Structure formats: C-alpha cells, structure tokens
Chains A and B, each alone.
Chain A
Amino acid sequence: MSSQQTASSAALGKADSVPQDSYISNEYGIKSWLLTLDHKRIAILYLISMTAFFFLGGAFAVAIRLELLTPHGDLMEAETYNKFFTQHGMVMVFFFLLPSIPAVFGNFLLPLMLGAKDLAFPRLNLLSWYIFMIGGILALYAIITGGVDTGWTFYTPYSSTYANSQVMVAGIALFITGFSSILTGLNFLVTIHRMRAPGLTWFRLPLFVWAHYATSVIMLLGTPVLAITILMLALERGFGMGFFDPKLGGDPILFQHLFWFYSHPAVYIMILPAMGVISEVISCFARKRVFGYHFIAFSSMAIAVLGFLVWGHHLFVSGQSAYAGMVFSFLSMVVAIPSAVKVFNWSATLFKGSISLQTPMLYCLGFIGLFTIGGLTGLFLATLSVDVHLHDTYFVVAHFHYVMVGGVVMAYMAAIHFWWPKITGRMYPEMAARFSAIVIFIGFNLTFFPQFLLGYLGMPRRYHVYPDEFQVLNVFSTAGASILGIGYLIPMVYFVWSLWWGKPASSNPWQAKGLEWTIASPPSPHNFEQIPVVTEEAYAYASDAQFVSAFDTDDQAKQSSHV
C-alpha cells in the first residue's frame, strides 16, 4: 500500500472512531423508532418487517416442497396446496421482492450516496412504511382467515367468480401496498433530482442511484395500473360489473393484459435495484471503475421503458391474437439486450481487475451466473412456438426463480453483507458468511435446476400430485430446498450475533469509493456534518492489487503478511 493511501485511511479511521451519537444510539425507545423521520431508521423498520415476510413466504415454500417429495398428495389436500403456493407467491413478490432492495437499501443509501441529509419527503417515507404494514397485516389476515387460492396472479374468471377464498381481502391488501410503492418511487425521484451534492452531476452518480431512478419511474407509472386492475376485479366479483366476464360484456383476457402490464415491469422493479447493487459491489472487489458506465446507466433507463412493451409474452396460449403474440415475442427479445449489456459490462469489469472473493463478491458472482441462466431461459419462453410446450410447466417456475431468487435475493444478500458495517457499525464473521454463500449457491441450484428438466419433460406447475416418473427430480429439488433453507438461516444467526459481538467496523472497511463510505459507521442522524463537494467520477479506484490487504475483516491478519 502506498504511503499516501495509508495516511488517508488512517486519517479516516481517526475521524470516525466509534461515533457517540449515531443514528442508532441518539434516541431510545419504541416511539423513537415508530415515529422516526430518519431515512436510516425507516430502512431498518423495512428490513425487520421484510425479513419476517421472507421467512413466512419461505415457510410456505418448505411445505410445498415437502408435499412434492412424493407423487401422491399425502401431506395436504389439493385446495390447501393451492393456498400454499398462492400465499408463497403473494408474500414473496409483494411483501419481500418488490420492496426489498429499494425500501431497505435505497432508503438507507440514496441520501448517503447523494450527499443529502435525508430523502426529499421524510414524512412521506414513514407513511410509505405504515401503508406497507397495513397492507401486509391485511394480507396476513386474509391468510389466517381462510387463505387465498387463486395463484399470485389472481386470474379471472377463477378469482372473480369461482374462488371461495379471501380474494377480496387479499386484493385490498395488495391495492393498499401498491401505494407504498408509488410513494417510495416518488420520493426517490424527487430526491435524485433535487438533492444531489454540489459537483455530483448525473454522470458522476453511482450506478445504484441510476438503477433506483429507473426503478422509481416504473413504480410510479406501473403500480397505478395494478391498483386499477384489482379494483376492477373487486367490482366484478363484488358487484357483478362486467369487465372480464364475456356474459357481462367483458373481455376474458383483459385481466391478463392489465395484470401483466404492471407485473412484467414489476420484475424490473425487483431486478433493476439488484443490478445497481451488483455494479457497486463488483467495482469495489475488482478495484476497478465499472466498465462502460454510461451504457449501464442508460441500459437501466432502456429497461424501464422497454419493460412496458413486452407483457403479452404471458398470453401466448391464452387466446391472444397470434399477431399480437408476434409483436410481443419480438419486443421480449429486444428487452434482453440492455440486460445483456449489463452482464457483458460486469464481466469486462472483472477482466484484469484485482479480484478478491469477499462474501459480497461471492454473491455478486453468483448473481451474474444465475441471472444469466434466468434471463436466457426467459428467451426460450418468449419464443412463440417453444412457449406452447413450456407454458405453465415447471420450466417457467425454474426460470423466474433463477431471476428472482438467483438474481434478486443473491443481490440482496450481497447488499446486506456489503453495507452491514455501514448500517450497524459491526463486521459480520467473514468465514461463516462465505460458507453460507456457498451453501446458498449449491442449495439454490439443486432446488431449481431439476425444475427446468421437469418442465421440459412436461410436468405442469400448480399441482400437488404428479406421475411417478417425475419423482427423482422432485426429490433432488426438495433436498436442494432444505439446503437452501439452512443457507438462509445461517446469516440470520451471525448477523444477530454480530450486533453484539461483531468487530467494530471502521468508516470504510472495504476501502470502497462513494460518499456513504466517507462518513462514520453507523452514520450520525444527519449523515454529513458538512455538505460534501464531489470532484471525481464514481468508482475512481486506483487499480492496486495490494488494496486487498486493507480489508477490515477476519482474515486481515492473514493477508497483511503480503504488505
């Protein structure tokens, strides 16, 4: 390490030695949390509530995989199974995946990355959390008082006419939760436009911020359509107004059009912030500026727009016109391009970088591989003729789990490890974390890769029984799910452990670039003592292999012998 760098990191260390009044310790008591306007505390509220939803959704997944261990329905009845996969999907999509990275890390990091004291509308931010919780509790109420069995997609006519479960309550829950998403998107957009520090021009923004900008656009323009769709469903189900039922003058697949107009872009609400995380982490652990910064920034915006033009690929076999199908198929191929641009640019970032395999980087590499598989199999499904065979099979299930779990959850795990020292002021145990990252990677692939094969062989999704010949692959999948489950429990244990016994983190344990690493860990309530002035572009890493030795982790002692 050069003397200049040593000097600067020593100076940082001195300036930020264990802060007396961080945002965590400046106030105590339940009221100081539930009425807080501090974006960092609100992020923690989201983190805790969404972790609970994640494990609830996970519990349904465990029950589903247990049932599928054998070809017969020996654990639960068909109707119970319908409720379990519906509730798994509903909880995971609406109460974990959609808000996950924006609500936790976007909330915590956007003001820090922009050099601001808070988001533009702190009260609106707290309101978003309360709306999220009201929606979440209502969804729990629906689950407890009878459950929902329509599938997370709520397709009519089943949801509007035939289902006897708590469709209305669940629908209202999602309607309410949507507003949380809209308000968060609005808050982020205004913050990014208005609260950038002096010198922080658009093309000096971290790519995490660009990703959240694009995400917010989708939240703002897409979510109202979901709300309207649910409202129409409720009006038809409750009052017999004809929107979807041909007998009442409706169009039978209009619901699918409206639902997927939001819900395909919703996939990008989940994956774009994840991509933002990957850009941050990969440049830090390759000690290199992200390759093709402008292309990654613009590809986020391209995804935000093009993502709205492809929804019809969910309707190829639903009675949609073949001509519309051709257009949607073509456009679905087009939307793959900006995602591919990102994957190529991340790979190019690794090229000749000085790579170190800390836990966030392990998740990051996992993301790139798994997201690529998830994305490419999406192209299979976007091909008209192939989709006729694969539609509604386990191939689809495997595809979107590669994108959502292999992509979004991997990035979420990368983010929580990368910024844990900043959020809590404590380091997590590196070796345990690397171990669980590998367990999760193995468990994930063992769970979902067999499902590609099952789908290709023709096993339909959403049945609790299946022909005997599919059992071997289902046993693999269930075995993988139990490994995956353990992989997710290990971080729960060591993160909680680290809150008390973790090594105190310096302000910049990864020697990373970005304004959030220039302030104390954990930050003070108002983040910056003085508004910072930005004079350099993002990711201005000096390529220096020996930087690695400065990492403030368990094996620092081991590595410092290289210096």
Chain B
Amino acid sequence: MSHNISSLGYYLRVFATLLILTAATVGAAFIDFGAFSTPIAMTIAMTKGLLVVLFFMHVWHSKKLTWLFAAAGFLWLVILIGMTFGDIVSRGWQGQPAL
C-alpha cells in the first residue's frame, strides 16, 4: 500500500471515522425506524468493527494467510449465531410459542 501505515495521521483518520459512526449510533437510537432499528444499529456497529480489524489490527496490509485466519474467525461467528438462531427460529414450528 502507498499509505504509510505507521503515520499518525492515518490512524487519526480511522479514529475520526469511528467517532462519526459512534455519533451515528447515538443519533439512530433517538429515531424510531421501526423494524429497521436493529439492522441499522448492527450495520453501523459492523462497519466500526471492520475498520478496527482492517486498519488498527493491520489486516488490510497483511498477507493472504492472515486474511484467511481473520475470515475464519468471522465464519465461526456465522456458525455460532446462525445455528443458534436456527434453533430459536424453528421452535415455534412445533406448535409451541416461539421464545
């Protein structure tokens, strides 16, 4: 990458973006988006997480192997959340109230 990844300004720009997104989270909490409230909050949070992982944790500038392990972490998160929700969503199908 052409960016100097050790320069302070580079990190400050990422930090500023994180602060703006934090303000967006707070702002979104005051507005009622109905069913979209949670997806919107989650999207902002995930963007922030991604910024931290890619830039503060240097994954963006790392080798493919590092990308692979970082991606594996997210794949595992998908397994954890996906299969747990598989249970919670399908509980109602048995004629019992869904929790």
Q: Which residues of A contact B (CB under 8 A)?
A: 193, 217, 220-222, 225, 246, 251-254, 257-258, 261, 308-309, 311-312, 315, 319-324, 327-328
Task: Tell whether, in the assembled complex, residue B91 and residue A309 are in contact, meaning their CB atoms are under 8 Å apart.
Answer: no
Task: Decide yes or no: A221 and B87 within 8 Å by CB, A251-B99, A321-B94, A322-B94 being known contacts.
Answer: no
| Option from A220, A246, A309, A312 in Cβ contact (under 8 Å) with B87 | A312
Additional pairs, 17, CB under 8 Å, beyond known A222-B76, A311-B83: A193-B65, A221-B72, A225-B80, A246-B99, A252-B99, A257-B84, A258-B84, A309-B83, A312-B83, A315-B87, A319-B91, A320-B91, A321-B88, A321-B91, A323-B86, A323-B90, A327-B86
Chain A: minimal CB distance from B81 (Å): 10
Contact B76 A321 (CB under 8 A): no
Residues of A within 8 A of B93 (CB): 321, 323
Contact present for B87 and A257 (CB under 8 Å): yes
Structural contact, A324 and B87, CB atoms closer than 8 A: yes
- Chain B contacts for A312, CB-based, 8 A: 83, 87
B73 within 8 A of A: yes
B79 lies within 8 A of chain A by Cβ: yes
Q: Specify which chain A residues have a CB less than 8 angstroms from the CB of B94 in the assembled complex.
A: 321-323
* Cα distance, A220 to B75, chains bound together (Å): 13
B65 A324 Cβ-Cβ under 8 A: no
Main secondary structure of the interface of A (DSSP, over half): helix
Determine the chain B residues whose CB is within 8 A of the CB of A222 once the complex forms.
76
Residues of A within 8 Å of B84, CB to CB, are: 254, 257-258, 261
Q: Using Cβ atoms and an 8 Å threshold, which residues of chain A touch B80?
A: 225, 258, 261
Bound CA–CA A324/B83 (angstroms): 8
CA gap between A258 and B87 in the complex, in Å? 13
Of A252, A309, A324, A327, most buried by chain B (CB within 10 Å of CB) is: A324
B99 / chain A contacts, CB cutoff of 8 Å: 246, 251-252
In the complex the two chains form, is A251's CB within 8 Å of B88's CB? yes
Q: How far is the CA of A322 from the CA of B65 in the complex (A)?
A: 39
**What chain B residues lie within 8 Å of A320 (beta carbons)?**
87, 91
User: How near does chain A come to B94, taking the closest CB pair, in angstroms?
Assistant: 6
CB contacts under 8 Å to A, within B63-99, are 65, 69, 72-73, 76, 79-80, 83-84, 86-88, 90-91, 93-94, 99
Subset of 10 A-B contacts with CB under 8 Å: A221-B76, A251-B88, A252-B99, A253-B87, A261-B84, A320-B87, A320-B91, A321-B87, A323-B90, A324-B86
Least Cβ–Cβ distance between B27 and chain A, in angstroms: 25
Nearest Cβ on chain A to B64's Cβ, whole angstroms: 12
Bound-state Cα–Cα, A254 to B80, Å = 11
Contact B72 A321 (CB under 8 A): no
Query: B73 contacts which chain A residues (CB < 8 A)?
Result: 221
Closest CB in chain B relative to A534 CB, distance in Å = 22
Bound-state Cα–Cα, A220 to B76, Å: 11
Taken together as a complex, chains A and B put the C-alpha atoms of A271 and B99 apart, in Å, by 36
CB 8 Å contact bits of B3-43 with A (1 = contact, 0 = none):
00000000000000000000000000000000000000000
CA distance A261 to B79 in the complex (A): 9
Find B79's partner among A258, A309, A315, A327 (CB 8 Å cutoff): A309
Q: B residues within 8 A CB of A319?
A: 91
